[in-house]
A and B are shown apart, each in its own frame.
Chain A
């Protein structure tokens, strides 16, 4: 019972801190800032449990290692799931754009979608993001993978080869 209570408190706390920080000033590196928000709330929660155990009734606090482990797993799984979902908020997905366009306008054709969602809209910003995040570097008019970019790309190449799936996109 206490594990569920603390899991909820920590996740809600992290999300509130996230909204608060974002409302004050949008961070430049949003995924990194999200990790800091979640980590800081987690450590405040741990601090609260460790150092206030003499002052509060043990009924409200975590007591055994398995409770800490359960909460940590739940919390970091939630953090990872939220960060991965947040990428859809941070950047417009083409599929999302198509659905919202169709919701707003009943007179849309395949051709008009393909013409309007072109390379300048869909490709150029993504390449810029990869450079900003240190996954690609630009030298003159050519782009090269960084070691970080190569590792990330190879992780997905490996995973897709396990599935025997195509390149995707």
Chain B
């Protein structure tokens, strides 16, 4: 029974993926992020119910029960985080988009690639996403300002990791402040 509980987070992740795919595929929501949240929630609730059911059949102390549920949900949360980023790679990663363009062609020069996918299109997609998510706002004169501090916090965390690991902040383009 305990061996079964050890792999329960994988079952939770399976439910998460199925719910996410079904929710977005059949357009129960148009928002990818809401579909991701729905998947995470269904997987989490199922995992906790499964843990409580199996643990009620075993004779463990309260502390052991709490530790088991904690480790199980923590593992599930990390697996879901990895899945969230995998989904994000398909959604936003330049490398994946470039590979997709090459799959549809029989070899390309850099110029031919730029006809299919280029920085202008990329920035258009990304700025659109940031605007729709309310993270940045654009004035009628075209001036851009930051709206959401939470996302900036995440960006700062990445910069912090860069300083710790790579001993640099970010590319020269930010240092110059454009």
Q: Is A144 in the interface zone, CB < 8 Å from B? A: yes
Q: Is the CB of A102 within 8 A of B145?
A: yes
* Candidates B3, B6, B107; contact of A144 at CB < 8 Å: B107
Kindly report which residue of chain A lies nearest to residue B64, judged by CB atoms.
A1
Q: Is A113's CB under 8 angstroms from B127's CB? A: yes
Chain A residues near B171: list those with CB within 8 A.
92, 97, 121
- Whether the pair B126, A119 counts as a contact (CB closer than 8 A) is no
Is there contact, CB below 8 Å, between A121 and B6? Answer: no
- Interface flag for B14 (CB, 8 Å): no
Contact B142 A109, beta carbon cutoff 8 Å: yes
A163 nearest CB neighbor, chain B only: B24
Q: Does chain A have a CB within 8 A of B45?
A: no
Given the known A-B contacts A84-B85, A168-B92, are A127 and B78 also in contact in the complex, defined by CB atoms under 8 Å? no
Determine the chain A residues whose CB is within 8 A of the CB of B178 once the complex forms: 101, 105, 108, 112-113, 116
Decide yes or no whether B70 CB sits under 8 A from chain A. Answer: yes
A145→B162 contact, CB < 8 A: no
- With A107-B143, A145-B102 known as contacts, the answer to whether A117 contacts B173 (CB < 8 A) is yes
Q: A128 CA to B150 CA in the complex, in Å? A: 32
SS class, residues of chain B in contact with chain A: helix
Q: Report if B170 contacts A (CB, 8 A).
A: yes
A12: interface (CB < 8 Å): no
Known A103-B152, A119-B119, A152-B99; judge A97-B6 contact (CB<8 A): no
Q: Is B120 an interface residue (CB 8 A)?
A: yes
> CB-nearest residue of chain A relative to B160?
A89
Out of B110, B119, B159, which one reaches A122, CB within 8 Å?
A: B119
Contact B170 A70 (CB under 8 A): no
The answer for the CA separation of A57 and B146 in the assembled complex, in Å, is 56
Q: Is there an interface contact between B166 and A89, defined as CB atoms closer than 8 Å?
A: yes
| Residue of A whose beta carbon sits closest to that of B121 | A169
From the candidates A1, A95, A109, name the one contacting B126 in the complex (CB within 8 A): A95
- Interface flags for A131-167 (1: CB within 8 Å of B; 0: not) read 0000110010111110001101110110110111101
Interface residues of A (CB under 8 A from B): 1, 3-4, 7, 18-19, 22-23, 26, 64-66, 69-70, 73-74, 77-78, 80-81, 84-86, 88-89, 92-114, 116-119, 121-124, 126-127, 129-130, 135-136, 139, 141-145, 149-150, 152-154, 156-157, 159-160, 162-165, 167-169
List of 4 A-B pairs having minimum Cβ-Cβ separation, nearest first = A153-B99, A169-B97, A66-B2, A69-B6
